[in-house]
Amino acid sequence: MAQTRDKTVPTLQAFDLVVHADSPPLAAWLSQHLELQRYRQLSDLDDTEMARLLREADLQARDLLATQGFFNPTLNWTRDTTPNQPRLRKVQLDVKTGPQARIAQVEIHWQGDIEQRPEAAQQRADVVQTWALPVGEAFTQESWSDAKTQALRQLLSERYPQGRIARSQAQVEPTKNQVQLDITLDSGPAVSLGPLVITGAERYSSEQIERLARLTPGNVYRQSDLLEAQQRLVLSGYYDSVFVSLDPDSSDNHRPVKIELKEALRQKWVLGLGVRNESGVRFTAEHTQHKVPGLEWRAVSKLAVDRNLQRVGVDLLAPPDPSLWRWNVSGQYEEEKFTSYTVNSQRWRAGRNQLSERIDRAYYAQYDAANTTGDQAGQRESVSANYAWTWRRFDRLPFPTQGTGWGLELGYGVTLGANRESFVRWLARGLWLVPLGQQSGRLALRGEAGSVVSKDATALPATQLFIAGGDNSVRGYGPGTLGVTQSDGTVRPGQYLSVGSLEWQRPISWNQQRTDWESAVFVDAGAVANQPANLHAKLGYGVGARWRSPVGPLRIDLAYGQATHKLRLHLSVGFTF
């Protein structure tokens, strides 16, 4: 019996479109958006139909270029038949964009309550001063839309949640390559906060919700106040989800505030299994009891175990008072193996803290005890009084693109034992994210410095001294490998710490679209010593990648330690400051 074999017949292509322009990215953008591309596979196109499609493509190309501010382009279309393939045409578009139109005038007008209210003068001035498309800037349809959106967002952010754009016009003068912008913002009536309407409160009291929200009836409506209230409620740990908004069904200018929440379970277990390049597989367990019977405090118990670290601890946290201060008691036991020594330590702490979106404060008394292997003196102990302060101003968390953060820890203490030695300990740290532009990313500058001032620092527990190296310190070196080198070659913690880092983070695009990935190039430097003159920095530098994961930023870094001449892989998740 004869057999037949199916043969795949290749699809004939009607034409191949090539676009040339003054700017290669613009040429690629035009080629991607021209509807003419849809007809490339129609092999039965005749010359008449092709001519019609090119006329339509010419009009569309001019419209597309106009959205980029090019109102006087020169377009040249050519068609050639491909040799040996008479049915395949080569269509070429040569574009000379001409000068890009620029903003010649901006007029911002007002309607509604904001037009006459003296208290709103600063809000009007802010919209004008931060207008995103000022005179002299190049015009594009996207930048025009973004500028209007930003102005409306500023109007809605304070006092006027019903604001709208009443009128907007971009008047083009093609012969002069100029654009005049005109926008009218209608504020509507001024709105203040009304009573709180809370839904979903069953396990935890409404009084606690009101304390955390801090939204006083009668205050002027500010969108940021509602967002910060929502943030405080979520960060409290008592609620799995929170939504704070003005009542949309109310037409009263003194509008009720709706707080809709889902409470966290009274008890919760979280188990984790991960891998760290330094210590292999790590198992973690965390148990939260949101309302300890008879105490009404929250208790969080944690366990972490891997090849180099075994840690167990408990943290008791009281409900917040009207000023959001909370009593806190905690204890922790830890055994950690470093490259050349092991530290067994325990830490007990009692005090108060106040957490907010911008500023965290804490003051507490602390007991430390640590025993370092190879130390003939045995366990060292100390008690201290401490104050910690953190200030942060980042544009968005947990994926900031710009902003600054500063932190300071101060402590005064005394060692325990036969010979008591007083000491002062301080640690300062900072992070500065500097934007370089939408495509160029940002610079991240990080610094950390600290010291322990004491006549005899050898009497202090190792946990009160400083050690460096690792994921969030000097990359290219293992945790605890940058310290004071002893006569036997071991590395121990020291009295002085200095660490700095410069990193360039740049977005990664694919098919002209930004992805959730960024590249990074960095250099770190750091040192630990017992005398400031001995702070000789060791360098680590390398490349890395950043991913916007569901649980926060994932950092993957490959770093080279200049002092060790070795490469190290560093992995970490989350943004904390």
pLDDT by 10s per residue, the chain, length 577: 344 344 444 455 678 889 998 888 899 889 888 998 888 877 777 778 888 888 999 999 999 999 999 999 999 998 876 555 555 678 899 999 999 999 999 999 999 999 999 999 999 999 999 999 999 999 999 999 999 999 999 999 999 999 999 999 999 998 899 999 999 999 999 999 999 999 998 888 888 899 889 899 999 999 989 988 998 888 788 888 999 999 988 888 899 999 999 988 888 888 888 776 667 788 999 999 988 888 889 999 999 998 888 999 999 999 888 788 999 999 999 998 877 778 899 999 999 999 877 899 999 999 999 998 766 557 899 999 999 999 999 988 788 999 999 999 999 999 998 789 999 999 999 999 999 987 889 999 999 999 999 988 888 999 999 999 988 999 999 888 999 988 878 888 999 999 999 999 999 988 767 899 999 999 999 999 999 999 999 999 999 999 998 878 899 999 999 999 999 999 888 887 8
Q: Are residues 121 and 89 in the same domain?
A: no
Question: Within 13 Å and on the Cβ side, how many CA atoms surround 389?
Answer: 8
What CA–CA distance (Å, rounded) separates 251 from 194?
12
Measuring CA to CA, which residue among 442, 390, 450, 380 is closest to residue 414? 380
What CA–CA distance (Å, rounded) separates 321 from 329?
16
Q: Are residues 492 and 411 in the same domain?
A: yes
**3-state SS assignment for residue 232:** helix
Question: Which tokens hold the place of 477?
Answer: 């070196």
Strands of 373-440 (E only): list them: 380-394, 403-416, 422-437
What CA–CA distance (Å, rounded) separates 215 from 194?
9
Contact assessment for residue 560 and residue 569, using Cβ atoms and an 8 Å cutoff: no
299 - beta bridge partners?
289, 316
Q: What is the CATH number of the domain that holds 224?
A: 3.10.20.310
Q: What pLDDT was estimated at residue 234?
A: 86
Contact assessment for residue 278 and residue 472, using Cβ atoms and an 8 Å cutoff: no
First to last CA, the chain: 78
Q: Are residues 486 and 399 in the same domain?
A: yes
Give the residue carrying structure tokens 């960024």. 518
What CA–CA distance (Å, rounded) separates 316 from 154?
41
Task: Mark which of 291, 310, 329 sits at the end of a domain.
Answer: 310
Question: Which tokens hold the place of 486?
Answer: 């002893």
Tally of domains within the chain: 5
- Residue 503 has a CB neighbour count (10 Å cut-off) of 21
What CA–CA distance (Å, rounded) separates 468 from 481?
7
258 belongs to a structural domain: yes
Measuring CA to CA, which residue among 549, 552, 546, 500 is closest to residue 520? 546
Contact assessment for residue 544 and residue 568, using Cβ atoms and an 8 Å cutoff: no
161 belongs to a structural domain: yes
8 belongs to a structural domain: no
Q: Are residues 140 and 72 in the same domain?
A: no
Full residue range of the structural domain in which residue 159 is found: 102-186
315 belongs to a structural domain: no
Q: Are residues 31 and 109 in the same domain?
A: no
Q: Are residues 182 and 196 in the same domain?
A: no
What CA–CA distance (Å, rounded) separates 575 from 472?
11
DSSP label at 421? Answer: -
Q: What pLDDT was estimated at residue 205?
A: 84
Name the burial class of residue 27, with classes exposed (0-12), middle (13-18) and buried (19+) by CB atoms within 10 angstroms of its CB: middle
Question: Within 13 Å and on the Cβ side, how many CA atoms surround 211?
Answer: 16
1 belongs to a structural domain: no
Torsion angle of C-alpha atoms 191, 194, 196, 199, degrees rounded to 10: -60
**3-state SS assignment for residue 133:** coil
Question: Which tokens hold the place of 474?
Answer: 């000097």
Question: Which tokens hold the place of 136?
Answer: 């002299």
Q: What is the CATH number of the domain that holds 279?
A: 2.10.70
Alpha carbon 497 to chain centroid, angstroms: 27
Q: In degrees, to the nearest 5, what angle opens at C-alpha 361 toward C-alphas 355 and 364?
A: 115
- Residue 121 has a CB neighbour count (10 Å cut-off) of 10
Task: Mark which of 160, 186, 212 sits at the end of a domain.
Answer: 186
4 belongs to a structural domain: no
3 belongs to a structural domain: no
Q: Are residues 197 and 332 in the same domain?
A: no
Give the residue carrying structure tokens 């050898």. 458
Name the burial class of residue 86, with classes exposed (0-12), middle (13-18) and buried (19+) by CB atoms within 10 angstroms of its CB: exposed
Q: What pLDDT was estimated at residue 494?
A: 94
Q: Are residues 417 and 526 in the same domain?
A: yes
Q: Are residues 391 and 454 in the same domain?
A: yes
Q: Are residues 76 and 224 in the same domain?
A: no
What CA–CA distance (Å, rounded) separates 555 from 572?
5
Measuring CA to CA, which residue among 258, 260, 262 is closest to residue 240? 262
Calculate the alpha carbon distances from 29 to 17, 24, 306, 392, 510 in Å: 13, 9, 51, 39, 13
**3-state SS assignment for residue 278:** coil
Cβ neighbours of residue 227 closer than 8 Å, sequence gap 6 or more: 244
Contact assessment for residue 271 and residue 305, using Cβ atoms and an 8 Å cutoff: no
Q: Are residues 339 and 446 in the same domain?
A: yes
Q: Are residues 220 and 296 in the same domain?
A: no
Alpha carbon 281 to chain centroid, angstroms: 28
What CA–CA distance (Å, rounded) separates 46 from 199?
67
What CA–CA distance (Å, rounded) separates 444 from 433?
5
Torsion angle of C-alpha atoms 111, 116, 119, 125, degrees rounded to 10: 60
2 belongs to a structural domain: no
Give the residue carrying structure tokens 């035009």. 30
What CA–CA distance (Å, rounded) separates 372 from 493?
10
| Region for 233 from its dihedrals, namely left if φ exceeds 0, alpha if ψ lies in -120 to 50, beta otherwise | alpha
Contact assessment for residue 541 and residue 560, using Cβ atoms and an 8 Å cutoff: yes
Task: Mark which of 240, 263, 286 sits at the end of a domain.
Answer: 263
Query: pTM value?
Result: 0.68
